[in-house]
Amino acid sequence: MLTLFKKEIRAFLSSLTGYIAICVFLLLVGLFLWILPSDSNILDNGYAGLDSLFSLAPWVFLFLIPAITMRSFADEKKAGTIEFLLTKPLTDLQIILAKYLASVTLALFALLPTLLYYYTIYKLGNPIGNIDSGGTWGSYIGLFFLASAFASIGIFASSLSDNQIVAFILAVFLCFFCYMGFEYISMLDLFGKVDDFILSLGLNDHYMSMSRGVIDTRDMVYYLSLIAIFILLTKTTLESRKW
C-alpha cells in the first residue's frame, strides 16, 4: 500500500499537470488576496485576517481536487492497467486508500504555502500578532477536511469512467452539490422544519462551523462519515467488475 501511495505521488509530481494545478491554486488565491482590487483584497480592507482566503479556497478546491483525482482510476482503465493493479497482493480497499491518501497529500502540498499568508498577516497586524489565531487554525482544519471530502468524491468519480475529462466534470458536479446543493435546497423553504436538517447535510454548513475556531466532534464525524461513504461507493464500483 505504501509503495502504491509513493507511486501516485511521484506520478503526479513528475507530470507538468500536477505543478500547474498547484500553481494555479496559489496564483488565483494570491491575486484575489493581495493584488486584484476587490472585497477579498486584504490590503484594501485594512483588516488583519484571512477570512478572504477561507472564502475563496473552497471554490478553487472545487476544481483543483477533481483535477488531482481525475486520473486515479480513469487513467488506469484507459491504459488497461487496472486489471494488473487489482491482481496485486492488495485488497480493493487498500488500493483505494492509497490513491485517496495520495490525493489528500497533494492537496495538503497546495495548502501549506498559504501559511506564508498567515505569517504576513501576523506581522502586518497593529499591534504585531493582532490576528484571530484560533479562528484561523480552525479554518485551516476545516479547509483540510473539506479538501479530504472533495478527494473522496473525486476518487469515486474517477472510478466511474475511463475518461479523465468525464471524471473531472462529474467530480466537480458532485463536489458542488455536496458543498452548496443542500444549502440551496434548504433555501427553497419547502420542507418546513426539515430545512435545517437538509442544510446540515451540506459540506459548507460544517465548514463554516469549523471556521469559527471551535472544532466540534459532530463536524469531524460528519466529514469522516462522508469520506467513508464515498470510499465504500468506490469499492462497490470496483467490485462490480466481478458481477
Lowest mean pLDDT among 119-123, 164-168, 230-234: 119-123
Cell 486584484 belongs to which residue? 36
Q: Assess whether pLDDT exceeds 80 at residue 50.
A: no
Question: Quick one: pLDDT band at residue 166, thresholds 50, 70, 90?
Answer: very high
How much is the pLDDT for 241?
A: 65
The pLDDT tens digits of the residues spanning 67-86 come to: 889 888 888 777 777 777 76
The pLDDT tens digits of the residues spanning 189-200 come to: 776 778 888 888
Q: Assess whether pLDDT exceeds 80 at residue 13.
A: no
Cell 489528500 belongs to which residue? 104
How much is the pLDDT for 109?
A: 87
Q: Which residue has the higher pLDDT, 32 or 242?
A: 32
Q: Which residue has the higher pLDDT, 99 or 2?
A: 99
Q: What share of the chain in percent tops pLDDT 90? A: 27
- Whole-number mean pLDDT of the chain? 84
Rounded to 10 deg, the angle between the 51-69 and 203-211 helix axes is 140
Question: Quick one: pLDDT band at residue 243, thresholds 50, 70, 90?
Answer: low
Q: Which residue has the higher pLDDT, 188 or 142?
A: 142
Q: Assess whether pLDDT exceeds 80 at residue 54.
A: yes
Give the whole-angstrom CA distance, residue 149 versus residue 120: 29
Question: Quick one: pLDDT band at residue 104, thresholds 50, 70, 90?
Answer: very high
Q: Are 134 and 210 in contact (CB under 8 A)?
A: no
Give the whole-angstrom CA distance, residue 50 versus residue 117: 8
Q: Are 147 and 57 in contact (CB under 8 A)?
A: no
How much is the pLDDT for 175?
A: 95
Q: Assess whether pLDDT exceeds 70 at residue 242.
A: no
